[in-house]
Amino acid sequence: MSIDTDRFRAELEQHRERLRSTIAHHDIGNSSLTEETGELMSSSSDNHLADTASETYEREFDEGLEEDAQEQLRQVDAALQRIEAGTYGACSVCGKQIPVERLEAVPWTTMCIDDARKLAR
Ligand SMILES: [Zn+2]
């Protein structure tokens, strides 16, 4: 294994926190997610109340972000699980090692660029 998984784990965890705060900020009605982020939400509820005005603006501003954030959170979680399982960095389609440059660009990717392109077609 030539991949520095510690580095990617740190990056993924950071990204996960960002996604969770995005999702929590949008206050969506998904109870399973609320459970997961309950800790985070209660700890940030103090300053949450203070900026109601800007929140309204932001809510309109990134309406479409909500689903994307949830989907990406799932992918980030899955990537972290792959790190734990020791399978991180292997393409889920062809099984080859995903180039580190690609992992740096998209740490939660499950596919090498060739298979990702095939799928996008
Ligand atoms: Zn592949």
Count of residues making up the chain: 121
**Which pLDDT belongs to residue 80?**
97
**Which pLDDT belongs to residue 27?**
61
Q: By the 8 A CB rule, do 118 and 21 touch?
A: no
**pTM > 0.85: yes or no:** no
Q: By the 8 A CB rule, do 111 and 92 touch?
A: yes
Q: How far is the CA of 118 from the centre of ligand 1 (A)?
A: 10
Please say if the pLDDT value at position 110 is more than 60. Answer: yes
Q: How far is the CA of 20 from the centre of ligand 1 (A)?
A: 29
Please say if the pLDDT value at position 44 is more than 50. Answer: no
Q: By the 8 A CB rule, do 1 and 90 touch?
A: no
Q: How far is the CA of 64 from the centre of ligand 1 (A)?
A: 30
Q: How far is the CA of 110 from the centre of ligand 1 (A)?
A: 9
Burial class (CB in 10 A: 0-12, 13-18, 19+), 65: middle
